Amino acid sequence: MTRPEAVAGVADADLDGRTVFVTGATHGVGRETALALGRLGARVLVHGRDRTAGRALANELRELDANPVFVRADFADPDAPSELAAAVADRVDELDVLVNNAGAHFDGPSLAAGVERTFRVNHLSPFELTRELLDDLAPQGRVVTVASAVHGRATASDLTTEAVTTVDDYDGFQAYARSKLANVLFSRELAARNPDKLVNSLHPGFVPGSELWRDASFPVSALMPALGVLPAFVLERIADTVETAAATSVYLAAADDYDVTGEYFSNTNPKTPSATARDDDLARELWDRTESLIANPPTPASDD
């Protein structure tokens, strides 16, 4: 097995004295990210929905002397981000790195507190969590947000308030693409508003072994885990393992050879995202719309 820190070229990085928080860390790419950062010497706080898996991960991190804390939260719950941020702030003096890794793909249409579920889990919750933790982030602290190359399928019209508060004509993959476009734009605008931080988004790769597909349609949710258990030397020819997929997150969290911010990365290198994802006006508009959705949530009575 090739470890993420080796793929990222940061196996010699020393994160002793630094504190990182990885969301969606109980399985897949997030788990490998958390373990890699623990091996590099960081104190690692982790989040997930599965308490049993979270405790198991915390035990592994404890063996690495990573002084872990596991906090459970469900990003479909609109109260979760602020509660999670408060729990983290209570446990750290200062946060050096926030890795927004948590994400989901939902095949069927549903709303979570009045907002399309994928958009809430993948964009609204990370947005609010990050905003709540900014005051706890160290000078030159880092925010790493896991997006996806599929963001290129989404357009500006996918991001209107009306588009994200309805599930009419729902397309699960398009909803996922929309949320990933939001991730890239959010990271871009967050960097513009906080020039003292290092803020970047990334494409992890095509990762069949990820828990991302757990709520997809049956053929997809069955096929992806089957691909994910192929031997690494076979899988790496057609896709990414969870270890190689974690490499760019680990690089952005640990490397000391870059100082760019507001960029989009793939395979540990900057890459040009879609034209829509480079629209600074749209990034500002999305920020304002997101704040409005959080401050004035749609009525939960409309949820499915």
List the CATH number of the domain containing 287: 3.40.50.720
Active site residue 170: no
300 lies in some domain: no
123 lies in some domain: yes
Ranges of beta strands (E only) in 191-237 are 198-203
Whole-model pTM: value is 0.90
38 lies in some domain: yes
Question: Which amino acid appears at position 70 of this protein?
Answer: F
Instruction: Work out whether strand 263-266 and strand 269-270 pair parallel, antiparallel, or are unpaired.
Output: antiparallel
303 lies in some domain: no
Domain range for 138 is 4-295
Q: Residue 208 — very low, low, confident or very high, per pLDDT cuts 50/70/90?
A: low
The catalytically annotated residue of 176, 251, 258, 264 is 176
230 lies in some domain: yes
Q: For 26-64, write each residue's pLDDT tens digit.
A: 999 999 999 999 999 999 999 999 999 999 999 999 999
85 lies in some domain: yes
Q: Residue 240 — very low, low, confident or very high, per pLDDT cuts 50/70/90?
A: confident
163 vs 300, higher pLDDT: 163
pLDDT (0 to 100) of residue 300 = 57
Q: For 77-118, write each residue's pLDDT tens digit.
A: 999 999 999 999 999 999 999 999 999 999 899 999 999 999
169 lies in some domain: yes
301 lies in some domain: no
pLDDT (0 to 100) of residue 173 = 93
**For residue 235, what are the CA distances in angstroms to 73, 178, 225, 230, 238?**
32, 28, 12, 6, 6
The structural domain count of the chain equals 1
Backbone angles phi, psi at 97, to 5 degrees: -140, 130
